[in-house]
Amino acid sequence: MPPAWRRRGLWSALIVLVLALLFTLVWLAGRYEASQVQSRLERDATEAVGEVRSALTRNVQSLQALQFNEPAPSVWLADAHAFLREHRELLRIEWRDPAQKIIAQVETPFSAPVFDRFGRTNSQADVVQTCSTARRLSGPAYSTSYFVLLAEGLGTEVMELCLPLVTAGRLTGYLVATYSLQGILNELISRQLTRSQEISFTEGDGTRLAIRGQARRADRVFTTHQLLDLSGTTLVLRLDNWRGAPDLFPNVLTALVTAMSLALIAILYLLGRDMRRRLKVEGDLAEALAFRKAMEDSLITGLRARDLNGHITYVNPAFCEMVGFSAEELMSQSVNAPYWPPELADEYKKRQDIRLAGTAPPREGFESVFMHKGGTRIPVLIIEAPLINEQGEQTGWMSAFLDIREQRRVEELSRASQDRLQATARLAMVGEMASLLSHELNQPLAAISSYATGSTNLLREGRHTSADLELAMLRIAQQAERAGKVIKSVHDFVRRRDQARDAVTPHALFDAVMPLVNLQARKLSVQVQLRLPPSLPRVLCDRTMVEQVLLNLARNGMQAMDVPGISRRVLLLEVKRYNNADERQLVFSVTDIGPGIAPEVAQQLFTPFFTTKAEGMGLGLSLCRTVIEQHGGNLSFTPHTPQGTVFSFTLPLA
């Protein structure tokens, strides 16, 4: 190791040790102060829980005193009123008989009656359960807290206390007190604890039920939780303390050590200033090289440099990743590069010789095929330019390579999509071709029937000759051949395709048909609503056929609403799971708000060639039902309330 590097290493190690010592001391002091704050917060939380528990116990004793000597209801009411004026945490006190019937009740004078809006019925179950627990424990029991909605959208979290009244071993009734959790925080916890802290009751997931205090800005929040165990329930008391992070110098010792360390660092800085000056030029050079290297490594375009002899002098990581070879394996390669496909090696060798002879390649580049180290063929676009040095002389060639596999994949998908669109167009014209087929076949079939009838008459009357019969048979054969040609022409146009079924998401099906649906919707002033839950499973189907079914049903729905008297035209497309959880199917539905389907039309709706449209062929719904049934599903329709029709079909899950 050179002396300069050794010196710099020693200086660096010394600086690191001093900084580590300084950081450790300051960090330990800060941790100690933070632990002290957390300990005080936990003590405060324990003290708060103790205050609440003691206050609740005293309240139980005071409530028991209300029933001393079995007072009359009027006396009890007066005593209860006085008790509520002294205890604001209580919202209501009830005296109940053993059957849970209210004998007397008192509301707090400091707020509106808590159960005025919805009555006591909604919380009756909680009271009964709590009193059952109290009866079983032979002592007071508390209910879990619940939310009570008040007027003007406000509300409060409350908790019930049930105290069984027993005289001579016999249950004579219950005393039910309704606590406000907010009142417990406000009245039963000393203000000293909440002066610089926030205290709250929370649920297990952290949701705050009641809170006292205000949040403050600070760099750090200290939090602690304490459980308030009561007979019948448990509350979580949370205490938050907002205060700044511990000071950088929490005590004199740390400040002294820090000052000495800073002085030592200053001395080290003065001693190392000369070294930094010498290394500045080297650092600038290294930074420039690193910047250029970072730019080259960040490119996704492969780069390759060759000298005038064809030897590879440079490749960037993108090129290595593209062909699967390391830079060491590619350097100095010229003849039969390892990424050339063997069957194209001779052609590439001739092209390289032409390039090295000085022939400039086209600026727009040319396409070629490389072979990955694993054997995969990679289509690439190559752009080459002369490599010029600082004297302006050409020293080789610089080539840029673009991986065009994704472009080829997109083009292939585009071609496949075009094929599907053409197949869909042929499927849509089946009805028209069927009508043409029936029209064209009428003439040859009628001629065949006429010739056959004439031949039969000649045979019966005995006036036939062999020439007459031969001519009739010839005419029949000619007409039969004509009918066959008509059928073959239609077969060539609409040929039967293989039923290749794929796992397709409902979102993909609707993405394919929504452009056509929206185009029709704009023409007919229809608002299209699409309801697709985000996590629908895939269905197994012939994608092209099902897309045509969706498109046909959507068009029928929009055309059904194209009648006078319907001002707001809405078409709803929806997908949901089958109602029966055992069925592995999805339900696709198309809902319109048109005039609906008359009973006489509903009976023939799926009949081939039956239509209610003047220009219709009557094959659309029949073909749709056939497609869905071939997939193992069912196509049906039901009336929609208040008006309209719902067409729905099912498809099996993949």
pTM exceeding the 0.75 threshold for the entire prediction: no
| 588-616 residue pLDDT tens | 999 998 888 888 877 777 766 656 665 55
Confidence of residue 489 (pLDDT cuts 50, 70, 90): very low
Query: Which range is least confidently modeled, 155-159, 212-216, 293-297?
Result: 212-216
Strand order in the sheet with 197-202: 208-212, 197-202, 233-243, 220-230
DSSP structure string for 454-511: HHHHHHHHT---HHHHHHHHHHHHHHHHHHHHHHHHHHHHSPPPP---EEE-HHHHHH
Q: What is the pLDDT of residue 610?
A: 59
Whether the per-residue pLDDT at 371 is higher than 50: the answer is: yes
| 312-340 residue pLDDT tens | 888 888 888 888 888 778 876 666 788 88
Return the percentage of the chain with pLDDT > 90, whole number: 12
Q: What is the pLDDT of residue 474?
A: 78
Q: What is the pLDDT of residue 112?
A: 84
Q: Which CATH number fits domain 1-250: 3.60.15.10, 3.40.50.2000, 3.30.450.20, 3.40.47.10?
A: 3.30.450.20
Confidence of residue 498 (pLDDT cuts 50, 70, 90): very low
Contacts of 119 (CB under 8 A, 6+ apart): none
In the numeric block, the tokens 């200053």 are attached to 266
Q: What is the pLDDT of residue 163?
A: 93
Confidence of residue 259 (pLDDT cuts 50, 70, 90): confident
Contact 454, 469 (CB under 8 A): no
Burial of 314 (0-12, 13-18, 19+ CB in 10 A): middle
Confidence of residue 132 (pLDDT cuts 50, 70, 90): very high
Q: What is the pLDDT of residue 239?
A: 86
Whether the per-residue pLDDT at 438 is higher than 60: the answer is: no
Same fold for the pair 1-250 and 299-403: yes
Q: What torsion do the CA atoms of 350, 352, 353, 356 make, to the nearest 10 degrees?
A: 160
Q: What is the pLDDT of residue 356?
A: 73
How many residues appear in the chain? 654
Confidence of residue 434 (pLDDT cuts 50, 70, 90): low
Query: Which range is least confidently modeled, 106-115, 229-238, 419-428?
Result: 419-428
Confidence of residue 196 (pLDDT cuts 50, 70, 90): confident
Q: Which CATH number fits domain 299-403: 3.30.70.260, 1.10.8.50, 3.30.450.20, 3.30.1360.30?
A: 3.30.450.20
| 47-104 residue pLDDT tens | 889 989 999 999 999 988 888 888 888 889 999 999 999 999 999 999 999 888 989 9
SS (H, E, C) 108-137: CCCCCCCCCCCCCHHHHHHHHHHHHHHHHH
Mean pLDDT of 619-635: 80
Q: Which of 227-241, 362-376, 441-455, 568-582 has maximum average pLDDT?
A: 227-241
In the numeric block, the tokens 């040859």 are attached to 444
| 346-363 residue pLDDT tens | 888 888 777 777 666 666
C-alpha to C-alpha distance for 587 and 634, rounded to whole angstroms:
10
Q: What is the pLDDT of residue 581?
A: 53
More confident residue, 145 or 293: 145
Rg (CA), the chain: 45
Task: Domain ranges for the chain, please list them.
Answer: 1-250, 299-403, 430-493, 502-652
Q: What is the pLDDT of residue 346?
A: 81
Q: What is the pLDDT of residue 649?
A: 92
More confident residue, 447 or 472: 472
C-alpha to C-alpha distance for 635 and 556, rounded to whole angstroms:
14
Q: What is the pLDDT of residue 7?
A: 65
Q: Which CATH code is given to the segment(s) 502-652?
A: 3.30.565.10
In the numeric block, the tokens 């205890």 are attached to 87
| 507-562 residue pLDDT tens | 988 887 787 788 678 888 889 999 998 888 999 888 777 887 888 888 888 888 88
Query: Which range is least confidently modeled, 223-232, 391-400, 438-447?
Result: 438-447
Q: Which amino acid is at 75?
A: V
Mean pLDDT of 10-34: 72
End-to-end CA separation in angstroms for the chain? 66
| 571-595 residue pLDDT tens | 999 998 876 655 688 999 999 988 8
Whether the per-residue pLDDT at 252 is higher than 80: the answer is: no
Whether the per-residue pLDDT at 212 is higher than 50: the answer is: yes
H or E segment at 639?
Answer: strand 635-639
